[in-house]
């Protein structure tokens, strides 16, 4: 093997990230046998196994660990150079974008986003990933294009754009036997509640406000997301604190109602985030514009 080419670097990067030859197929665009053949040649070239099969997948050797920063740098330089010259044509593009979103975003924003993309870029595909602690790494590596939410742990090298301000309201069943059109603090503290423990929706601000106000909550159940929350509230006497825009949407769709909280709760700003590596990428620019326009429409509602 006289020299390495770009595909060799992509194979090493893909196997390193996925810890699997079969999972590297989609990233590299070669068949599994072709990747295996190239990997054998790379092992011979570097005189090292590079990846060893274990119960946790294909684990890199120290030699592979040492190579990967230079491989990332080389791929980044080529990727940035190429992207500057490749236009993005939405009506004909078949590109797949990956968006990290909260479950609130999946409820409130995703349906409208998919409808809009279908109308202007019918062959574009969307993969939705949960917004979690891995989001910054995914944005940096290119395994995610955009992240939507609040208080992403942003370091240097990321851009962000404010999209929408939201706040929390109380959601109860329309058939609640004690709560009608108004909720007092005494009722709020007396009723059992659902606590939604999720990421990217300003919950730490909510908890701080409740603590500062010395509110005594009777939390009966904790759930990890807002998905399915309306069904629980509709068929129980439990209260839940939810983002106002999602609460209004659920109110229109089911037997729940939203009421102002009986204490002062802070608002928070939903943002979209992207890494500086893809700041000038035409496709990323297009997607950011579509998302921004969609949130402009939500603000006017």
Query: What does the pLDDT look like over 73-129, one tens digit per residue?
Result: 888 777 655 555 567 899 999 999 999 998 888 988 999 999 999 999 999 999 999
| Half-sphere CA count of 140, side-chain side, radius 13 A | 14
Level-2 CATH architecture, domain 96-160+276-299? 3-Layer(aba) Sandwich (3.40)
Q: Would you state the pLDDT for residue 259?
A: 95
Enclosing H/E stretch for 293: helix 282-299
Is the model's pTM score more than 0.85? no
CA distance 145 to 200: 17
Residue-level pLDDT at 96: 93
Question: What local confidence, expressed as pLDDT, does residue 233 receive?
Answer: 95
Give the model confidence (pLDDT) of 168-205 as tens digits.
999 999 999 999 889 999 999 999 999 998 766 667 78
The residues near 34 (Cβ < 8 Å, ≥ 6 apart) are: none
How many Å apart are CA 143 and CA 50, to the nearest integer?
22
Q: What is the pLDDT of residue 82?
A: 56
Interval 126-155 mean pLDDT: 86
What tokens appear for 213 in the block? 């106000």
Most confident of 24-28, 85-89, 149-153, 289-293: 289-293
User: What is the DSSP-derived secondary structure letter of residue 217?
Assistant: -
| Residue 230 C-alpha from the chain's centroid | 22
Domain 6-83 classification at class level: mainly alpha
Average pLDDT, the chain: 87
In the chain the beta strands, taken as DSSP E runs, fall at: 51-54, 57-60, 96-101, 125-130, 146-149, 158-166, 168-173, 192-196, 218-223, 239-243, 256-259, 268-275
**Residue 200 confidence (pLDDT):** 61
Distance CA 292, CA 42 (A): 44
Query: Which structure tokens are listed for 101?
Result: 């979103």
- Residue 1 pLDDT > 50: no
**pLDDT confidence bin for 258, thresholds 50/70/90:** very high
- Spatial distance between the Cα atoms of 109 and 106, rounded to a whole number of angstroms: 6
Q: 296 or 257: whose pLDDT is higher? A: 257
Distance CA 137, CA 140 (A): 5
Cα separation, 17 vs 15, whole angstroms: 5
From residue 7, give the alpha-carbon distance in Å to each of 14, 75, 209, 294: 10, 10, 53, 37
Distance CA 40, CA 123 (A): 36
Whether residue 19 is predicted with pLDDT greater than 50 in this model: the reply is yes
DSSP-derived secondary structure letter, 277 = G
**Residue 278 structure tokens:** 């893809």
Note the CATH architecture for domain 168-266. 3-Layer(aba) Sandwich (3.40)
Of 144-148, 199-203, 279-283, the least confident = 199-203
* CATH 3.40.190.10 location in the chain: 96-160+276-299, 168-266
Residues of the chain with CATH 1.10.10.10: 6-83
Q: Are 274 and 145 in contact (CB under 8 A)?
A: yes
Q: What confidence score (pLDDT) does residue 86 get? A: 63
Which pLDDT score, from 0 to 100, does residue 152 have?
59
């Amino acid at each position: 093997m006289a020299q390495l080419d770009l595909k060799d670097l992509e194979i090493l990067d893909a196997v390193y990230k996925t810890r699997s030859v079969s999972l590297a197929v989609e990233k590299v665009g070669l068949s599994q046998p072709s990747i295996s053949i190239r990997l054998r040649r790379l092992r011979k070239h570097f005189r090292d196994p590079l990846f060893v099969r274990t119960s946790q997948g294909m684990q890199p050797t120290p030699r592979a660990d040492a190579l990967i920063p230079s491989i990332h740098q080389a791929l980044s330089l080529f990727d940035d150079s190429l992207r500057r010259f490749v236009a993005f044509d939405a009506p004909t593009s078949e590109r797949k974008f990956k968006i990290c979103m909260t479950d609130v975003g999946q409820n409130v924003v995703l349906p409208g986003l998919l409808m809009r993309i279908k109308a202007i870029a019918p062959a574009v595909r969307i993969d939705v990933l949960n917004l979690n602690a891995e989001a910054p790494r995914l944005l940096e590596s290119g395994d995610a294009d955009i992240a939507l939410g609040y208080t992403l742990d942003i370091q240097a090298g990321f851009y962000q754009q404010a999209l929408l301000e939201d706040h929390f309201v109380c959601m109860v069943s329309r058939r609640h036997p004690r709560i009608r059109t108004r909720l007092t603090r005494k009722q709020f503290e007396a009723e059992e509640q659902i606590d939604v423990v999720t990421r990217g929706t300003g919950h730490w601000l909510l908890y701080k406000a409740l603590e500062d106000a010395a509110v005594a909550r009777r939390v009966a159940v904790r759930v990890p997301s807002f998905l399915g929350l309306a069904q629980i509230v509709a068929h129980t006497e439990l209260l839940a604190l939810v983002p106002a825009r999602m609460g209004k949407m659920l109110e229109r769709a089911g037997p729940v109602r939203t009421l102002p909280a009986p204490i002062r709760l802070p608002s928070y700003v939903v943002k979209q985030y992207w890494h500086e590596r893809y700041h000038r990428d035409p496709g990323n620019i297009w997607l950011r514009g579509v998302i921004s326009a969609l949130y402009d429409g939500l603000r006017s509602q």
